[in-house]
């Protein structure tokens, strides 16, 4: 299987190609208003749209009075429009959710919300909404409490309507795991999900996160590999296998895994982020910078810029690291204190890094569940802040 390119020039070629492709698809969306979705297949990457979305787009093209709202057309009063069912809207939401971009997840929330409005008794729609909000908490440039609480509410509503909705149990498991730090409740929710739907790859993958948080590193890999076998075409699960390998410090295996994902879709942003973490862990810091610059080109949001600041610091590019940190701090937006702590630690400012680690704990950042395994925290393991956070999380 192909491995990721070693030469920096190759990384630059990949980044340039990715940026050209991104600009082309963005032109389709901005110039024509096409309802474009992105999906990675085993052999290539493609874009597509749902029939109901194309109907709405065509209606808007034929009649300039039609207004597009949240991906659907609203015709003038008294004129009928194509309406997707709650089931179709939920499927659209899942497709957007699988892309794992910030915009895609927001669209997923909007579509799942429309599904619940279209049919207030559709339990699977609430389950999909719970998944979308739970993942939004990991990517959004806002405090995690709002999306996590909305995920909880949607999951509970789904289970009131139908206790067998797997997505609701899975989402509730992630809420208990990464926001409540209620380890036993999280385990119970994931066990419910995997019992109800043994073929559900997401449930097994997130159960792997639970095992990693509890220090069961080998079992975490077992569950994530199981998820990969259940859904071998899922790009996010492929990269999650690489992520678990990174946390277990099996970097060569992680890079090989991510290299295989790259051959499936060279535009999937998460692959490059996981490359960057592995490269920094093995001292290939300039490769880490290039991988992260490609990541930001594909899916720019504040968390990624904090990781890029750390990569600059690790590569000895202190001026650029400090400029990136200043840019993050000057923006009136929520940022990841967890990853900003790693950037300051890479610059040698351990007390500032410790302060930010405590802030991440106050903010209940999603990624804290990986604290005990994360190689990016190694510089802080002797700092009092690290022990304080471990104690507060009841690890």
**Domain boundaries along the sequence of the chain:** 34-83, 85-216, 300-395
The answer to whether 30 touches 22, Cβ cutoff 8 Å, is no
For CA atoms 350, 302, 374, 338, give the dihedral sign. positive
Q: What is the pLDDT of residue 333?
A: 74
Q: Is the pLDDT of residue 53 over 70?
A: no
The answer to whether 208 touches 227, Cβ cutoff 8 Å, is yes
The residues, ordered by sequence, that sit 6+ positions from 213 with a Cβ below 8 Å of its Cβ are 177, 183, 369, 370, 372, 395
**Exposed/middle/buried for 326, CB within 10 Å: 0-12, 13-18, 19+?**
exposed
Q: What is the pLDDT of residue 329?
A: 77
Q: Is the pLDDT of residue 340 over 80?
A: yes
Q: Is the pLDDT of residue 269 over 70?
A: yes
Q: What is the pLDDT of residue 27?
A: 55
Q: Is the pLDDT of residue 28 over 80?
A: no
Q: What is the mean pLDDT of residues 370-379?
A: 96
Q: Is the pLDDT of residue 8 over 60?
A: no
From CA 283, how far away is CA 278, in angstroms rounded? 9
C-alpha distances (whole Å) from 229 to each of 2, 266, 295 are 20, 21, 26
Q: What is the pLDDT of residue 328?
A: 86
Q: What is the pLDDT of residue 117?
A: 94
From CA 279, how far away is CA 291, in angstroms rounded? 9
6-15, 43-52, 89-98, 129-138: which range is least confident on average?
A: 43-52
Is the pLDDT higher at 8 or at 25? 25
Q: What is the pLDDT of residue 26?
A: 55
Kindly calculate the radius of gyration of the chain based on its CA atoms and give it in whole angstroms.
Answer: 21
Q: What is the pLDDT of residue 19?
A: 55
Q: What is the pLDDT of residue 22?
A: 56
Q: What is the mean pLDDT of residues 110-127?
A: 96
Torsions phi, psi for 77 (to 5 deg): -55, 140
Show the CA angle centred on residue 161, arms to residues 74 and 211, nearest 5°: 105
The answer to whether 263 touches 235, Cβ cutoff 8 Å, is no
Q: Is the pLDDT of residue 70 over 70?
A: no
Q: What is the pLDDT of residue 2?
A: 43
Q: Is the pLDDT of residue 69 over 50?
A: no
How many Å from the N-terminal Cα to the C-terminal Cα in the chain? Answer: 38
Annotation: CATH topology of 85-216: 1.25.40
C-alpha distances (whole Å) from 163 to each of 160, 171, 268, 325 are 6, 13, 34, 46
Q: What is the pLDDT of residue 163?
A: 98
Q: What is the pLDDT of residue 39?
A: 44
Express each pLDDT in 275-302 by its tens digit: 999 999 999 999 999 999 999 989 888 8
The reported pTM is 0.80
Is the pLDDT higher at 333 or at 287? 287
21-25, 50-54, 195-199, 289-293: which range is least confident on average?
A: 50-54
The residues, ordered by sequence, that sit 6+ positions from 198 with a Cβ below 8 Å of its Cβ are none
* pLDDT classification of 138: cutoffs 50, 70, 90: confident
Q: What is the pLDDT of residue 321?
A: 97
From CA 369, how far away is CA 190, in angstroms rounded? 16
Q: Is the pLDDT of residue 10 over 70?
A: no
Is the pLDDT higher at 209 or at 99? 209
Q: Is the pLDDT of residue 373 over 80?
A: yes
Pick from 64, 144, 81, 71: which is nearest to 108 by CA?
A: 71
57-66, 95-104, 377-386: which range is least confident on average?
A: 57-66
The answer to whether 276 touches 310, Cβ cutoff 8 Å, is no
C-alpha distances (whole Å) from 86 to each of 57, 80, 152, 284 are 19, 18, 20, 48
Q: What is the pLDDT of residue 302?
A: 85
Pick from 367, 301, 356: which is nearest to 331 by CA?
A: 301
């Amino acid at each position: 299987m192909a491995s990721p390119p070693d030469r920096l020039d190759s990384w630059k070629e990949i980044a340039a190609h990715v940026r050209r492709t991104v600009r082309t698809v963005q032109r389709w969306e901005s110039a024509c208003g096409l309802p474009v979705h992105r999906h990675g297949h085993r052999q290539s990457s493609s874009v597509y749209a749902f029939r109901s979305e194309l109907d709405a787009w065509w209606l808007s093209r034929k009649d300039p009075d039609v207004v597009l709202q949240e991906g659907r057309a609203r015709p003038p009063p008294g004129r009928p429009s194509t309406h997707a069912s709650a089931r179709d809207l939920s499927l659209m939401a899942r497709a957007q959710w699988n892309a794992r971009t910030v915009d895609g997840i927001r669209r997923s929330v909007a579509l799942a919300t429309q599904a619940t409005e279209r049919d207030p008794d559709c339990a699977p729609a609430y389950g999909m909404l719970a998944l979308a909000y739970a993942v939004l908490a990991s990517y959004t440039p806002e405090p995690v409490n709002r999306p996590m609480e909305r995920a909880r509410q949607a999951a509970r509503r789904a289970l009131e309507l139908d206790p067998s909705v797997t997505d609701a149990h899975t989402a509730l498991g992630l809420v208990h795991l990464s926001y409540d730090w209620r380890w036993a409740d999280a385990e119970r929710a994931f066990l419910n999900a995997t019992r109800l739907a043994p073929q559900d790859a997401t449930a097994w993958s997130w159960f792997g996160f639970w095992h990693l948080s509890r220090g069961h590193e080998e079992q975490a890999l077992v569950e994530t590999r199981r998820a990969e076998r259940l859904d071998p075409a899922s790009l996010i699960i492929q990269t999650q296998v690489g992520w678990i390998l990174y946390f277990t410090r099996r970097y060569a295996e992680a890079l090989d895994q991510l290299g295989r994902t790259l051959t499936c879709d060279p535009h999937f942003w998460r692959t490059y982020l996981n490359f960057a973490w592995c490269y920094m862990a093995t001292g290939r810091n300039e490769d880490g910078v290039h991988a992260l610059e490609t990541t930001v080109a594909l899916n720019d949001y504040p968390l990624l810029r904090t990781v890029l600041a750390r990569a600059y610091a690790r590569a000895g590019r202190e001026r650029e690291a400090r400029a990136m940190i200043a840019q993050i701090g000057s923006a009136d937006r929520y940022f990841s204190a967890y990853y900003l702590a790693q950037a300051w630690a890479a610059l040698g400012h351990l007390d500032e890094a410790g302060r930010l680690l405590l802030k991440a704990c106050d903010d209940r950042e999603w990624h804290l569940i990986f604290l005990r395994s994360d190689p990016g925290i190694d510089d802080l393991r002797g700092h009092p802040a690290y022990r304080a956070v471990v104690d507060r999380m009841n690890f």
